[in-house]
A and B are shown apart, each in its own frame.
Chain A
Amino acid sequence: MAWRNLWRRKRRTWITIATIVFGVWLSMTFTGIGDYSYTNMIDTGANLGFGHVTIQPAGYHDEPKISKLISELPEIKNNILEYSEKNHSAIDSTADRVLANGVLATASKQIFGFFVGVDPAQESKQRNIYYKSMIEGDWLESTNERKVVIGKGIAELLNLKIGKKLIYTTTDIDGEIVSEVARVKGIFRTGVKEIDNASIILPIDTLKETLKFKESQITLMALFLNDQRKSSAVAQDIETLLNSKVEVKSWDQTQAELASLITLDRGGNILTQMLIGLLVAAGILNTLLMSVMERLKEFGVMMAIGMLPSNLFLLVMIESFFLAMLGLFFGIMVCIPWYIYMANVGLDFSAMVGDEMSAGGVLIDPLMKIRLYLSSIVIIALSVPGLTLLAGLYPAYKAVKTEPVESIRGL
């Protein structure tokens, strides 16, 4: 009976279904943009050097110093390998890093520089923003060559070109000032001014030698995860596992500014979705209420002949449920092609915002794409019928409150 009741006024039912479809589409799009862009920003932030999870010397986070370093590298690597084997889907890759600050100079100019020592064998374009952003020359090949990759800003400030010499000066772990010469092998441009104007990538052993690090010493180890959402859990697991002088931080701790920005944006997104949900629910409530109000006499008759109030409540709720299921079904039908397009092609806003929009020190991709995590799909699939059923509660209550004698008066 509930199914047939739904089709008494076909146009109204289709309008309600269209409202639900619109709600599903909006929810999917907003959630998809969030899932994609947050993951993208977090991954980009991780690829700047610290990974999704960072293993670093105790106290390094609060006060980074060249003298603070990890000395038990082999032991840590063994532990990570063991953890990775047990949780094979968690960790994608690891990368050793040596970090230092210093001065970059040519014959005529000098500027501040942030040194990142990397092992080229551990780096990939997917996991290293500098590698990915190469615009000239080549990426590093060995761990001990006397060549560097510099940001576009540095190249411009120091008037450097591929093959030219660069002097970098820093302080080693003994506090001695040390200088080395290297040739520029490649130039990158991330689009983030602070990075392009100061970052210089060096072969890890070359930098270690300069800083007088032993072979087993590094500044930090970056862990890249397959799913950034597991960062906190993995960080906690590894901290427990290592149980030593090192500290293990997840990306939201190493990049607090980015984490705050995402939290703020996510909050706004949730609020927007709640408001949209409220509007959609109000539309559904209105339709269901109209449908109930025009059937009050009929409900009165049904209650007069013995339909229990609970049966009547159930009848209206089943109508709401059918509406929700139809809305969800057609919503999914509409969303599938939209999702495929947006996940693979996306909308390019670079003409409006340019290529170099950044937030929290991370470059924002002007190509808007969407991606949905399974958990988000489950939430949408549950919240849409949930909202529809919630909207059905008041009309169902109104139906139950029908007084048969009032309704049938004059019949």
Chain B
Amino acid sequence: MATDNVGNIIETKSLYKIYTRGNASVNAVDNVDLTIKKGEFSALCGPSGSGKTTLLNLISALDSPTDGEIWFEGQLLSGLSRTQLSRLRRDRIGFVFQSFNLVPVLSAYENVELVLSLQGVPPKTRHDIVMPLLSSLGLEGLEHAKPAALSGGQQQRVAVARAIAHNPAIVMADEPTANLDSKSAGNLLDYMEKLNAEKNITFLFSTHDQKVMDRARRVITLVDGRISGEIFKNAESQP
């Protein structure tokens, strides 16, 4: 069953994630209703333990909720098998992690083409996609470099290239600037904003970096697993 809301990439309804340890239970995500529309450049923020990463994992199809529904492009995630969820992540979601998480034995080029090769895209097409992308992210000449030979900023740009190479519906970025210096973080956000503006790629950040919050056009604040507030910086991004 699909939702009626055309243009919504993600829609959660009464979403809960409860962790139980012994007799104690913690509501990491507590009754969250959230909608993310195509083209948004949004940030989930809040103090440590507020549930940002848990919510991001849930709507990224990496984790399953205790209760509630998650709709991804009109598809209910709870109805999908493990393999179907893998395919959905492979084809429709891009990931950027705090620690870059590139495959160490692969070059920058190979890391970026990884998802494309998992999709079965032919080598020639992969080359035509990856090279301009690396170039647009300022990584020209570093195609053959292994992650260990790249700086933190360069690694994170490779990670961004990997996240967007397959033209996903949304890029989920969990604390993408946490391990970067101020200049690299600024550059990375510039690239992401550019991609959002030029290619209409949707970005959703989990962050407590003020720089990210400043750039985001929608900031969703979580406290104790609940949405405690939302700021829309322009009318276009309002749901």
Question: By the criterion CB–CB under 8 Å, are A306 and B118 in contact?
Answer: yes
Taking a contact as CB atoms under 8 Å apart, the answer to whether B115 and A306 are in contact is yes
Size of the B side of the interface (Cβ < 8 Å), in residues, is: 30
Cβ contact within 8 Å between B99 and A411: yes
Q: How far is the CA of A409 from the CA of B60 in the complex (A)?
A: 14
Shortest CB-to-CB span from B164 to chain A, Å, is 12
The minimal Cβ–Cβ distance linking A295 to chain B, given in whole angstroms, is: 10
Q: Are A302 and B103 in contact, CB atoms less than 8 angstroms apart?
A: yes
A306 CB contacts on chain B under 8 angstroms: 86-87, 89-91, 93, 115, 118-119
Q: How far apart are the CA atoms of A307 and B111 in the complex, in Å?
A: 13
B83 near A309 (CB under 8 angstroms)? yes
The contact string, 1 if C-beta is below 8 Å from chain A, for chain B 65-108, is 00000000000000000110011011101110111010111100
Shortest A77–chain B CB gap in Å is 69
Q: Known contacts A4-B106, A8-B105, A411-B98: does B115 contact A305 (CB below 8 Å)?
A: yes
List chain A residues, Cβ under 8 A from B34: none
Q: Is the CB of B105 within 8 A of A1?
A: yes
> Does residue B157 face the partner (Cβ distance < 8 Å to A)?
no
Residues of B contacting A236 in the complex (Cβ-Cβ under 8 angstroms)? none
For the complex formed, measure the closest distance between the CB of A320 and the CB atoms of chain B, giving whole angstroms.
17
Partner among A4, A298, A307, A411 whose Cβ is within 8 Å of the Cβ of B90: A307
Q: Identify which of B63, B87, B105, B115 gathers the most chain A CB atoms within 10 Å of its CB.
A: B105
User: Which of A4, A305, A309, A408 has the most chain B CB atoms inside 10 A of its CB?
Assistant: A305
Interface membership of A404, Cβ < 8 A: yes
Contacts of A409 in B (CB 8 A): 53
Bound CA span A305–B164, Å? 11
User: For B52, what are the chain A residues with a Cβ–Cβ distance below 8 Å?
Assistant: none
B62 in the interface, Cβ–Cβ < 8 Å? yes
Choice from A298, A305, A405 contacting B57 with Cβ under 8 Å: A405
List of A residues within 8 angstroms of B63 by Cβ = 405
Asked if A308 is an interface residue, CB under 8 A from chain B, the answer is yes
Decide yes or no: A307 and B118 within 8 Å by CB, A298-B103, A408-B101, A411-B101 being known contacts. Answer: yes
Minimum Cβ distance to chain A for residue B191 (Å): 19
With contacts A1-B105, A306-B89 taken as known, whether A405 is within 8 angstroms of B162 at the C-beta atoms is no
Complex Cα–Cα for A308 and B117 (A): 12
- In the bound complex, residues from chain B placing their C-beta under 8 Å from that of A308 are 83, 86-87, 90, 118
User: Which residue of chain A has the shortest Cβ distance to B58 in the bound complex?
Assistant: A405
Q: Known A1-B106, A404-B62, A408-B62; judge A301-B97 contact (CB<8 A).
A: yes
Q: Is there contact, CB below 8 Å, between B106 and A304?
A: no
Q: Which residue of A lies closest to B105 (CB)?
A: A4
Q: When A1-B103, A4-B106, A408-B101 are in contact, do A305 and B90 touch as well, CB less than 8 Å?
A: yes
B114 is an interface residue with CB less than 8 A from chain A: yes
The answer on a CB contact under 8 Å between A305 and B114 is: yes
Say yes or no for A310: interface residue by CB 8 A criterion. yes
Nearest CB of B to A298, in Å:
7
Interface membership of A303, Cβ < 8 A: yes
B75: min CB distance to chain A, Å: 16
Render A126-145 as a binary contact track against B, CB cut-off 8 A, 1 for contact. Answer: 00000000000000000000
A292 to nearest B CB, angstroms?
A: 15
Cβ contacts B170-203/A at 8 Å (1 or 0 each): 0000100000000000000000000000000000
User: CA–CA, A306 to B89, complex, Å?
Assistant: 5
CA distance A407 to B174 in the complex (A): 14
Partner of B97 from the list A303, A310, A408 (CB cut-off 8 Å) is A408
Determine if A5 is an interface residue (Cβ-Cβ < 8 Å): yes
Q: Is A311 in contact with chain B by the CB < 8 A criterion?
A: yes
Given contacts A311-B118, A405-B63, A408-B62, contact A303 B86 (CB under 8 A): yes
Shortest Cβ distance from B80 into chain A, in angstroms?
A: 13
User: How far is B105's CA from A109's CA once the two chains are assembled, in angstroms?
Assistant: 88
Per the bound structure, the CA–CA distance linking A242 and B103 in Å amounts to 72
A310 to chain B, nearest CB (A): 7
**CB interface residues, A 186-201, toward B, < 8 Å:** none
0/1 string, A299-324, CB within 8 A of B gives 1: 00111111111110000000000000
Cross-chain contact A304 with B95 (CB below 8 angstroms): yes
Which A-chain residue is minimally distant from B53 (CB atoms)? A409
* Cα(A5)–Cα(B105), bound, Å: 7
Bound complex: CA of A305 vs CA of B96, how far in Å?
A: 9
A402 to B: closest C-beta gap in Å: 11
B-contact bits for A280-301, CB 8 A (1 contact / 0 none): 0000000000000000011001
Please name the residue on chain A nearest to B88 by beta carbon: A306
A302, B162: Cα distance in complex, Å: 11
Residues of B with C-beta under 8 A to A411: 97-99, 101, 174
Known: A307-B90, A310-B83, A404-B62. A301 touches B118 (CB 8 A): no
| Chain B residues with CB under 8 A of A301 | 95, 97, 101, 103
Closest CB of chain A to B15's CB: distance in Å? 15
User: Closest residue of chain B to A404, judged by CB?
Assistant: B62
Q: Which residue of B lies closest to A310 (CB)?
A: B83
Query: Which A residues are closer than 8 A to B by beta carbons?
Result: 1, 4-5, 8, 297-298, 301-311, 404-405, 408-409, 411
A-B contact pairs, 13 of them (CB 8 A): A4-B105, A8-B105, A304-B60, A304-B95, A305-B89, A305-B118, A306-B86, A306-B115, A306-B118, A308-B83, A309-B86, A411-B101, A411-B174
Q: Taking beta carbons and an 8 Å cutoff, which residues of B are in contact with A?
A: 53, 57, 60, 62-63, 82-83, 86-87, 89-91, 93-95, 97-99, 101, 103-106, 114-115, 118-119, 162-163, 174
Q: A302-B114, A306-B115 are in contact. List 18 more A-B contacts (CB 8 A).
A: A1-B105, A4-B106, A298-B103, A302-B103, A304-B62, A305-B162, A305-B163, A306-B93, A306-B118, A306-B119, A307-B86, A308-B83, A308-B86, A308-B87, A308-B118, A309-B86, A408-B97, A411-B174
